[in-house]
Structure 1
Amino acid sequence: MARKVIVFGATGGVGSATALTARQLGAEVSLAMRDISKTIPSLESSTEKESGFPRIQADLAQPDSVRSAVTQTGAQYAFVYTLWGTSDHMRPSFEALKAAGIKSIVLLSSFSVHGDPRSCPTTHLIAWTHAQVEIALQDVFGPDGYVIVRLAFFATNARWWARDIAGGEVRISYPRVRWDFISPDDIGAICGRILVQVSQSEERIVGLVGREYMSMREAIGVIARVLGKEVRVTTISQDECVQRFIAEDGLPEVLARDVLREYDEAGDGEFYPNVPEARGNVERYLQRPPTGFEEWVQQHKDVFVV
């Protein structure tokens, strides 16, 4: 019998790749969406349109809708992402998922959580927020009812610079900070495999990183080369960068400053723990190396069209 799974957040790059991979591996996949009419281009190719993915209205911030979605689909396994701005850290939603029959959760979390989430300092907002959600998941589903996938710097974060790249100048703080620029397609392909194949013997926390580390300046250079543009990089102050995060990306000031704190702590080197293991996880699940950043940019040039 095919495993029945439900994917929350399928309109995003990771969620859509998770759904597609799970179905390719034989699962019955339902999409839980706030707006079931929303277009998902990556799931609407000519081959996928023939059978489509069942959609059902649900919002992770509304436990009743979550419970209803799981009950209607009969799903026993779920992919979810971390919600921001919730005072309950998703605990009621996890309780609703379990009450409705979900046996195991795959949670998209953050590499900023190092080791035991209960030891995460409150001074690190991004890490602490993800840690509280991880703790709630562990409390509700027990030691064998989840897999937490921790990521660091998504390749899609480069979209922050799309408007500046179009104008020929990118203004950022910390242009020398190095990140891994992991492909959301790779993440989703791994989450889909875990979702379909998870068992009690599975490791509970899986770290993933991209193929190579490069500085923000180097990454911008890659994008410029692929697009055939001349782009210069200008270093700006932290305060100016914070104001840009607020005005252009809609981040609250406290979150914008925490992003810059992470940049500051990352410095010029690799700040992730257990990098060889995390990169090895990608190769182990996908049976190939992680997608390189330039390859990802070649595949997704459209995201830099503004």
Structure 2
Amino acid sequence: MTILVTGATGTLGRHVVDRLLRDGRQVRALTRTPAAAAAMPAGVEPAVGDLTEPRTLAAALAGVHAVHLIGATGQDHAPLRTGPEITAMAEAAGVRRITVLAEGDEGSDDGLGRAVRDSALEWTFIWPIDYMANTLGWADAIRATAEVREPYASRRTASTDERDVADVIATVLTRGGHAGRRHVVTGPEALTPADKVAAIARATGRDLRFTALTDDQARSQWRADGWPEEGIAFMLDMWATVPATVAEVTPTVERVLGRPPRTFAQWAAAHADLFFTDSQQKMPGENTQ
């Protein structure tokens, strides 16, 4: 039983690969470059191909029982437009089961969702609200200034540990029983940015601050940091229109894995070393274990 993992070197994909390997599964990992293929973990069968060029995927799909497919590609996370072709190739290759990292909402289909739902595959959409790892974007500022400065400080998100998402995907791929479902994956609580900074402070033993910015203050800061105007406008619009649903906690992890999801405090403790430099002494304490 060979499982193909696309996006295998990404924030989530590498955890999916690791989980499947720990479970003793035969893993084939898709990457666009031979260099990345050579760097795959021991025990992984590398395959070179590009999801935006389906003709390059025939060898990667050969003999595969299940596939984890990412629904967006590239640095700009553009929606995957070749979903219908990939789905047809997967069926022709004898693939039985597929997880799709995409919203999977019928009301906002981009072609991929329709193609997957119309296929003969045992499909499951997996949609994380937000990765806890996204807070690593604060690491440079925390190391340099012990401060995080952002607008829209009251926004709350039920961020999920990427390892939990990987565990859900691996479980669905290997055990089945989730065909035709859309699983929205969250953590156990909805937190503001200040809540997350406080958790990182406890994990590192450092005195960290969160400062709420107005839109104008954010624009000035980001311009000084060299952001393009379109990037500034995009971020402000995105944060100003965050839907209330991102704060809704779902029972997905508990239902699929039979255990509660990891908390942000647990995630922060596991990644505490990324938020301080060698010269910044980490304080001992039970929250750093």
Q: What TM bracket, shorter-length normalisation?
A: 0.7 to 0.9
Distance 1:237 1:292 in 2: 29
Let me know the Cα RMSD of the aligned residues. 3.2
Residue equivalent to 1:27: 25
- TM-score of the aligned structures, taking structure 1 as reference length: 0.75
Residue equivalent to 1:177: 155
Counterpart secondary structure, 1:29: strand
Contact 1:221–1:231, Cα closer than 8 Å, also in 2? yes
Q: Deviations over 1:71-120 (max 9, x none)?
A: 2xx1121001121335736333333333333222101124xx6xxx2323
Distance 2:273 2:11 in 1: 14
Counterpart secondary structure, 1:217: helix
**Higher CA-based Rg:** 2
Picking from 114, 119, 139, the partner of 2:107 is: 119
2:270 counterpart of 1:299: yes
Residue equivalent to 1:54: 45
Answer with 293-302 or 225-234: which moved more: 225-234
2:48 counterpart of 1:77: no
Distance 1:175 1:190 in 2: 30
Residue equivalent to 1:124: none
Answer with 179-188 or 219-228: which moved more: 219-228
% identical aligned pairs: 22
Distance 1:11 1:249 in 2: 28
Distance 1:172 1:7 in 2: 35
Residue equivalent to 1:123: none
* Cα pair distance change 1:296/1:107, threshold 3 Å: same
Picking from 76, 81, 85, the partner of 1:92 is: 85
2:195 counterpart of 1:218: yes
Picking from 113, 116, 125, the partner of 1:137 is: 116
What amino acid does structure 1 have at the position aligned with 2:89? Answer: A
What amino acid does structure 1 have at the position aligned with 2:81? Answer: D
- TM-score of the aligned structures, taking structure 2 as reference length: 0.79
Question: How many corresponding residue pairs?
Answer: 270
Answer with 78-87 or 178-187: which moved more: 78-87
Alignment of 1:243-254 (within 5 A): 244=222
Distance 1:259 1:177 in 2: 11
Distance 1:291 1:11 in 2: 22
Counterpart secondary structure, 2:179: coil
Answer with 83-92 or 208-217: which moved more: 83-92
Distance 2:258 2:230 in 1: 37
Answer with 30-39 or 165-174: which moved more: 30-39
- Offset of residue 20 of structure 1: 2.7
- Offset of residue 217 of structure 1: 0.7
Structure 1: gaps spanning 5 or more residues: 121-127
